[in-house]
Amino acid sequence: MTEPHLEHTIFGGHEDGHEGPHGAAHTGEQPVRRRADRHLSARPKKRRGRRTGCLFVAMAIVAVAAFAAYTVLRPVVDGFFESNDYPGPGTGEVQIVVNDGDTGSAIGATLEKADVVKSSGAYLDAAAGDSRAAAIQPGTYTMKKQMSAAGALAILLDPKNRSVPRVTVREGLWKSEVFAALSKGTGVPVAAYTKAAKDASAIGLPSVAKGNIEGYLYPATYEFPAKSTATQQLKIMVAQAVSELEKAGVGEADYQKTLIVASIVEGEAGVADRGKVARVIDNRLENPTGPTVGLLQMDSTVNYALQKRGNLTKSEYDSAKSNPYDTYAHKGLPPGPISSPGAAAIEAAANPTEGPWFYFVTVNYDTGETLFATTQAEHDRNNAQRQAWCEENKPKCEGGG
């Protein structure tokens, strides 16, 4: 009997004991291959399962991210489609202040804050389409809430809708009279102007004025910024006076003298030739031994000394003798201006007409006709003409130049 082959002892022989093609028995080699094949065919199925799971997870992540993005960005997206303007016409009433120097952006921001327009952007869009928007004037405007931007712009462009503190200051007023006029026009108390006038630095008063604002309150029609203070208003007026002095070619060292002479010209000239009146003042000042021996002899300065308008009595003239503003009693210029002179008076004081006159007198108070003279005798004849007119037109005049 043949002994079993060592291979068969270790691995076991084939069930039927047949040998393989090379003489080897069927030992189970083929079943081993089949098991290996089965393992190989199972692996792809497991990988496909993993891929499917990963796909579901990825899709879930994308869905969550998309939902989060939609939630966060929805207001932004909606903003692209929602109008930034109200349809108008608006309701109620609101006061809007446009300040001097406000840009279009500043105006738009003011309107948006007051809920006049839905957004400053809507206002700027409307303003960009109208070149007049660049010339909107400062002031207070009555508007409605929730207006269309175009409607709001239309109100700002119409001057009839604009309200500003407007004050007209006439030539020749004393500072007390100017303060009263300002208070009436702006509603700011007179006391506030009196107090503000004492702060020379705050109101820009030149040092040559020595703290006295008289003469520097330039007469004009002013449109002050809304809610401006007494100090701010006086500063504007002083700056205008300085500007007029500079226009007339007056240097800072001569501001005071020029304003003093100009204020007397304003008080005396009426409709007379201001250049000639200024020359009479200069001729008297420059000739202390001349016909008036250096005395200006101006009624307007006595009126200022007494703070009384109109014709004065002899007793009133006598009562002013100790006052330095009485130019009948004191030689030379008074201590300061006696009123607020206008541009014509400042120009006359800065550039008086050439001439030899020492005297002038208004001979007709209705027409303002004024005669000038070089000698006392000539002046006496002119003054007689005035007296004759006054006899026929009492009590329109009294006193003289």
Every domain of the chain and the residues it spans: 53-82, 91-163, 166-247, 253-392
Please, are residues 238 and 217 in contact by the beta-carbon 8 Å criterion?
yes
Please, are residues 373 and 359 in contact by the beta-carbon 8 Å criterion?
yes
- What is the helix (H) or strand (E) element at residue 112, kind and residue range? helix 104-113
Cα(72)–Cα(46) distance, rounded to whole angstroms?
Answer: 40
Token couple for 173: 């007023």
Q: Is the peptide bond before 291 cis (omega within 30 degrees of 0)?
A: no
Cα(267)–Cα(374) distance, rounded to whole angstroms?
Answer: 21
CB-side exposure of 396: number of CA atoms within 13 Å?
Answer: 15
SS3 190: helix
**Number of other residues whose CB lies within 10 A of the CB of residue 82:** 9
Assign 16 a pLDDT band (cuts: 50, 70, 90): very low
Assign 71 a pLDDT band (cuts: 50, 70, 90): low
Give phi and psi for 96, each to the nearest 5.
-115, 130
* pLDDT, average across residues 363-385: 93
Assign 32 a pLDDT band (cuts: 50, 70, 90): very low
Please, are residues 218 and 244 in contact by the beta-carbon 8 Å criterion?
yes
Amino acid 184 reads K
Average model confidence (pLDDT) for the chain?
85
Would you give the DSSP letter of residue 210?
T
pLDDT score at 225: 82
Share of the chain above pLDDT 90, in %: 67
Assign 166 a pLDDT band (cuts: 50, 70, 90): confident
* pLDDT above 80: residue 37: no
pLDDT score at 357: 97
Cα(121)–Cα(109) distance, rounded to whole angstroms?
Answer: 9
* pLDDT above 60: residue 22: no
* pLDDT above 90: residue 287: yes
**Number of other residues whose CB lies within 10 A of the CB of residue 211:** 11
CATH class held by domain 91-163: alpha beta
CB-side exposure of 95: number of CA atoms within 13 Å?
Answer: 8
Token couple for 238: 């002083």
Please, are residues 334 and 327 in contact by the beta-carbon 8 Å criterion?
yes
* pLDDT, average across residues 203-228: 94
Q: Which residue has the higher pLDDT, 324 or 17?
A: 324
Assign 51 a pLDDT band (cuts: 50, 70, 90): low
Burial of 256 (0-12, 13-18, 19+ CB in 10 A): buried
Most confident of 72-86, 171-185, 307-321: 171-185
Assign 163 a pLDDT band (cuts: 50, 70, 90): confident
